[in-house]
Homo-oligomer: A and B are copies of this chain.
Amino acid sequence: MADDKWTDCVNNLKGVILDMCGVLYDSGEGGGFPIEGSVEAVKRLKASDLQVRFCTNETQATREKFVAKLRRMGFEIDITEVFSPAPAVVAVLKERGLRPHLLVHDDVVPEFDSVDKNNPNCVVIGDAADYFSYQNMNAAFRVLIGLKKPVLFSMGRGRYYKETDGLKLDVGVYMKALEYACDLEAEVVGKPAPMFFEGVLTDMGIQPHEVIMIGDDLMNDVGGAQQCGMKGLQVRTGKYRPSDERHPTVTADGYVDNLAGAVDAILKHCGQ
């Protein structure tokens, strides 16, 4: 990426939002491992004048356990800096007095401890992975088809992600399945929903044009951020595929080999 493009990109920059899986680390058996240079890159970013937040659609664990895993990998991350869909959907459920049937990974269930789940009047779907059995899908479907006004919340709408042993289907695929089965449209909580990004911006107390989002997912990270008025950079790690750089509708503000490269360029062109 040319210097003048970087200068434009970091103009007015006050904060950076980082996607986690595929940017900080690659997931897989045993929790995964950090992507080369990412631990150090986060450290340098946090030592700068820029605000840093982490924004993930991860719903296979509670935020507590997820942050603990990343700290074990060496990342300096505090739970208050991490935004994930489960706490956001819990807030929505409470606000609207909804009682969810959960189609989620067992390990994220504790996030819903404070929510009444009796006599469900909506369904919440997350990245349930192996819990996406035919039986569990039927159970969620029967709740929805039995409701007068079926409501489905999807924690993200990703198509797939990369683990160390290959690509795996993400929550969006099963969201589409239930949408078709019940002829409805899910409410997405998580990236790329604007409300989700806006929650992060509010927490930072800065404007969209003062923020860069860095992610490996062209649609959900880059496209989602751009729709909110932020800049979006795509890293060539994680689920990145070369065809992303020729996508017909979404073009990142920049492509970088990895997070370390992105942070190098940002700090250099910010004069830090």
Chain A interface mostly: helix
Interface string of A213-247 (1 = CB under 8 A from B): 00000000000000000000000000000000000
Copies in the complex: 2
Q: A132-B137, A134-B129, A134-B133 are in contact. Are A180 and B166 (CB under 8 A)?
A: no
> A180's closest neighbor in chain B, by CB?
B176
Q: Among A131, A173, A176, find the residue whose CB has the most chain B CB atoms closer than 10 A.
A: A173
Check A7 for interface membership: any CB of B closer than 8 A.
Answer: no
Q: Mark A157-178, 1 if CB is under 8 A from B, else 0.
A: 0011000001111001110111
B145 touches A160 (CB 8 A): yes
> Could you list some 13 contacts between A and B, CB below 8 A?
A131-B134, A137-B169, A137-B173, A138-B166, A138-B167, A138-B169, A141-B160, A145-B160, A159-B182, A172-B180, A173-B177, A173-B180, A176-B180
Cβ-closest 7 pairs across A and B: A176-B180, A177-B177, A132-B134, A173-B177, A173-B181, A159-B181, A130-B134
